[in-house]
Each structure stands twice: as C-alpha cells, then as structure tokens.
Amino acid sequence: MPAPASGRGAIAALAGAFLTQFAAGFGFITFSLLAPSLAVLTGLNERDFGLWVTFFFFGTAVSSPATGLLVRRFGGVWTVALALFAMAAAMLVNLGGSWAITMLAATLYGLAYGPQGPVGMTVVTERTPPSRRGFFLALRHSSQPLAGIIAGRLLPPLMLVVGWQFGIFTTVGVLVAAALFTLTTPALFRVTTVPVAPPSYGRRGISWAAGSVVRALAVPVGLRLLWGAGLVFAVNQIAMIVFSYLYLLEVAKLTPIEAGIFLSNMQIAGLLGRPALGWFCDKTGQSQLVLALLSAIGVATIFALMSVSGAGMPLWQLFILAIACGLSGQTWNAIFTTAMSYKVPPERLAELNGRSFAFLSLGWMAGAPFFWLLIEVSGGYAAPFIVVGAANALAAIALIVSAWRERARA
C-alpha cells in the first residue's frame, strides 16, 4: 500500500528531486551554450546547432512512456541514478565535435532525460499533502531555471579560457555527482506506489497499438482551445529559450559571454515566476487569463527582441528583455496543467496530463525545424518571429474570449 501523503519526508523528497532535476537541467542548457564553439569549429551557423532541441524532445517522447516499466524493473532509486549516468555518457558524445554527433548526443540525452523527471514528480506527489502539492511541484520545477542561471554565467567564460571541451567535462561532473547522490540517499527517491503494468495488446497487434497512439494524440472536445493554445506555447518556448539566444549571437552580435548572461538572466523569470504564478492561480482560479497574459507578453517580447541591435545596448535593457523572454517561455507549463485541472474530472487528470504532454511534444519537436526552415527560406529571423508573435496574439484573444464566455455561463 502506498504511504499516505501526511507530509512526512516531503521537504527531503523535494530537495532530492530538486537536486537531480538541477543536474539534468544543467546538461540541457549546456547544449545551447556549446553552439558558438561548435559553429566556429565546424563552419556552420549557430542556428544549425539550435536543432538539437528537436532531437532532444524526440528522445524524451520515446523514453518517457517507459518510466513505469523502468520503475517496476529497477525501482525509483536506480531509475534516476541510471538515467543520470546515461545523461553523463551522452554529454561525452559531444566531444566528437560535429553537427551529426551533436544531434546524436542530444537524442541520447533526451532518451536518458525522459524517465528521471516523472520519478521525481511522483516521489514529491506521494509525500506532499494535497494542500501544498502544487506549490511543492512548482518549486521542484524551478530547479531547471536555477541550473540555467548558473550554467549561463559559469560555462561561457570557462569555455573561452580553457576550451569548449571543459564545458562538457564540467557538466559530466555535475551529472555524475547527482547520480552518486541518488545512490547514497535512496530513501529520497524510493517510489512507494508500484506503477500498474500497461495492458497487453495480445493478438490485436501493431495496428491496434498504432491506433492507441493516434487516440492518445486526439484532442478531447472540451480541451481543444486550451490544447491548441498549449501548442502555441510549446513553439513559443523554443523561440524564447533557444532561438532568442541564437538571434543575439548571429544578428545582434553579442559575444558568447554576453549571450550566456542573457540566457542566465532569462532563467530568473522561470525560477521566480513559476512558483509565484502557480500560487496566484491557486488563489484566484484565473489560470486561463494568466495564460492569455503570458501570450501578450510573448507578442511584446518578440517585437522588442527584433529591435535589439547589440552595439551599445544598455545592459539593463537586455536584462528586462531576458526576464520577458523567461516569463513568456518558461512559466506557462504548470499554469497550463492547472487550467486543465479545472476542466476535467479528477479521475481523468492523470490520463489527460500524459496525453497533453504527448500532444505538446509535437510543438516542442517541430519548433526548431520550423524556425530553422523559415530562417533559411526568408534569409533572416524576422519571418519566424512574426509568425510566432501572431500565433501568440491569436492565442491571447481566444483564451480571453473563452474565459469571458465561461464566466457568462456560470
């Protein structure tokens, strides 16, 4: 029987999940920070290496559904530890120093990354009382932007002085340390509820399994607007956390250190904004309007970003721009989940959370190729940024109208 969520061990479990997610997020950010050095090494553009994010999310989409199987086979402790060791090994693949090798490393990193996050969220959920669960999960998610803050300031100057390989070795050290921490503190990562085995398809075969995948991606009738807006947010997230950084390198001509600080500052909004907005949504119940506000911030941010010239731009303006990028691109996930929780019965929330993640993965995987292709076809960043800005505007209007209609019916 699973242990009741009495609150005993909740803070310790949160600390463990926070630290391991921090290490995984440190590696995630490292891929972007390697782009300037790899572009110089290979003669390609920085934006060519921005495609790593598509391969990463392909890996997570493949491996995340196997989390239950891994926990049943190895337990929560070894699932997290093995995932972190595998991430460290994937990071070492980057030493090959080519575009194809980097994309392979990103795929392998995504495959390893996929299971560790759900285990951490499960452990925190099991041990936290419902009254504090949303806030604790938001704090756990804040480890990702904290990793970005530190990596964005630490790695670029080190890689310029010592060499880009040093950034890889530093990240490997962080991941291995987290894996060893997991093995030496097993009580923090033990999953008490054994995941239920999925049903066997038996003689129904591959066609039935393929049909199940299609059904999983189908958008439920009452959630079409919210999931459609979520798809816009997913593409906008790629624009904000990956291509804004590459734009500042390629077009605004910021140095790798300056762009790294911008990327680091962007994470501050995620670190502070996620728990703050989660708390606000819990208190007001207006999560859909908060999503509309984030869409509007996305529109304003894109126009501000396109006006950056780089030369002589005050640092305080770059800081504000980074915070806006972080708010628009980094804080929406938990609010989206909260908004959906108001629209579905509790017994279906877990199922629809999983289905929505699979659906949103389409946006995460398509975002980078979409940006790259439009840049290549149009010859600049303006076209993809304008398309994303227009999509944000439409999402904001649709969410506001929907919220107004729901209030009128109430």
CB 369 within 8 A of CB 240: no
Neighbour tally for 73: CB within 10 Å: 10
CB 394 within 8 A of CB 291: no
Q: What is the per-residue pLDDT for 309? A: 56
Please indicate, yes or no, if residue 217 is contained in any of the structural domains. no
Distance CA 70, CA 88 (A): 19
Which CATH number does the domain housing residue 293 bear? Answer: 1.20.1250.20
At a CB cut-off of 8 Å and minimum separation 6, what does 212 contact? none
Q: Span 234-262, mean pLDDT?
A: 87
**Residues 338-377: pLDDT tens digits?**
787 777 775 565 556 656 776 788 888 888 899 999 999 9
Q: What is the per-residue pLDDT for 2? A: 40
The DSSP letter of residue 2 is P
| Same-domain status, 149 and 257 | no
Q: Which residue has the higher pLDDT, 265 or 410?
A: 265
Q: Span 29-46, mean pLDDT?
A: 91
**Residues 51-83: pLDDT tens digits?**
898 999 888 878 877 777 787 788 888 889 999
Residue where a domain stops, chosen among 172, 191, 210: 191
| Same-domain status, 187 and 241 | no
Q: What is the per-residue pLDDT for 13? A: 82
At a CB cut-off of 8 Å and minimum separation 6, what does 16 contact? 120, 123, 181, 182, 185, 188, 189
Tokens of 176: 């291995």
| Same-domain status, 173 and 92 | yes
Distance CA 78, CA 70 (A): 9
Distance CA 267, CA 257 (A): 16
| Same-domain status, 305 and 165 | no
Please indicate, yes or no, if residue 202 is contained in any of the structural domains. no
Is residue 293 very low, low, confident or very high in pLDDT (cuts 50, 70, 90)? Answer: very high
Query: Number of structural domains, the chain?
Result: 2
- Provide the residue type at 322 as one letter: A
Please indicate, yes or no, if residue 239 is contained in any of the structural domains. yes
Please indicate, yes or no, if residue 314 is contained in any of the structural domains. yes
Lowest average pLDDT, out of 98-102, 106-110, 142-146, goes to 142-146
Tokens of 409: 């019916």
**Closest C-alpha to 324, from 296, 289, 298:** 298
CB 365 within 8 A of CB 231: no
CA 60 from chain center: how many Å? 11
Q: What angle do CA 13, 340, 278 make, to 5 degrees?
A: 50
Q: What is the per-residue pLDDT for 349? A: 55
Residue where a domain stops, chosen among 191, 210, 241: 191
Which residue range(s) make up the domain with 284? Answer: 222-410
Please indicate, yes or no, if residue 305 is contained in any of the structural domains. yes
Distance CA 170, CA 155 (A): 8
| Same-domain status, 253 and 122 | no
